Structure 1
């Protein structure tokens, strides 16, 4: 499991928080506990990698409301719900809305640890993808307006002659722009260029 990531636990039941803290810390995981959704939101920094383990039913902001607030803020931290028997339909709806999973109390420690491991891996992959997308967008931002026009037509699979006709420039000028685009974006083939353009669009 990722030693740098934090498992955030939000539960109004102190005994449950203590039990989860003991279990996760005994496996070498970094943990931060909060007694309410409000306290978690006030302290949470979306730049921190990790996942969220949250009780469905709490005073104030419920677990499902917290999940919706995080989505509204575009924080895509993986969320695992822990739930009492009566809350299962609510938890199922939350999973359909993007939560990783829900575990019904009393749950098996191994099931929780496996789900946390899966969530941390999902978070790591999400962050890696966002970093690649941002890098791609930065490289494309260095292109001039004309280079971008040529690039869009190259990515659309058009031949240099067609691009020249469409833009009213010579084939040699298209070739020069095309070479400049490849150099600035740091790719060696049209296939790589297509990947970068797709990545920049997320």
Structure 2
């Protein structure tokens, strides 16, 4: 008699979500969880950086204006630790200066608030 183990479901890709607006964060968390992401959501950058799973994340969505930091400082800290996932900056404060600073800091894309769900998903997938 041969015992067989059930097949393991493929791991859901980890996504760090750092957004201090509770409503926006919860809406994105629901959207992304429903699309197959394992969402680790945080209101503060320091809590995201303290998460033991942050280095395993394949994706990051970070707001620019956070209560304890900003998205540029967050991505700089993650990249300094060797994190190399796909990163998207979201902001209600887009400016030409921020559009130049975001890729220089390590973001792959930037979305202006308000945005549509489809825009988020398309931007994440590159």
* Partner Cα distance (2:112, 2:24) in 1: 13
Say what the alpha-carbon RMSD is for the aligned residues. Answer: 2.0
Contact 1:56 1:87 in 2 (8 A): no
Query: Which of 32, 49, 69 is 1:24 aligned to?
Result: 32
Contact 1:82 1:102 in 2 (8 A): yes
Structure-2 residue corresponding to 1:45: 53
Specify the structure having the higher radius of gyration (Cα).
1
Query: Residues 99 and 86 from structure 1, CA distance in 2 versus in 1: closer, same or farther, beyond 3 angstroms?
Result: closer
- Size of the alignment, in residue pairs? 117
TM-score by length of 2: 0.81
| Greater RCO structure (CA 8 Å; 6+ sep) | 2
* Higher share of residues assigned helix: 1
Deviations 1:127-172 (A, max 9, x none): xxxxxxxxxxxxxxxxxxxxxxxxxxxxxxxxxxxxxxxxxxxxxx
Structure-2 residue corresponding to 1:110: 118
* Partner Cα distance (1:47, 1:67) in 2: 12
1:6 Cα offset (Å):
1.2
Query: Which of 58, 64, 83 is 2:72 aligned to?
Result: 64
Gaps of 5+ in 2: 1-9
Gaps of 5+ in 1: 119-202
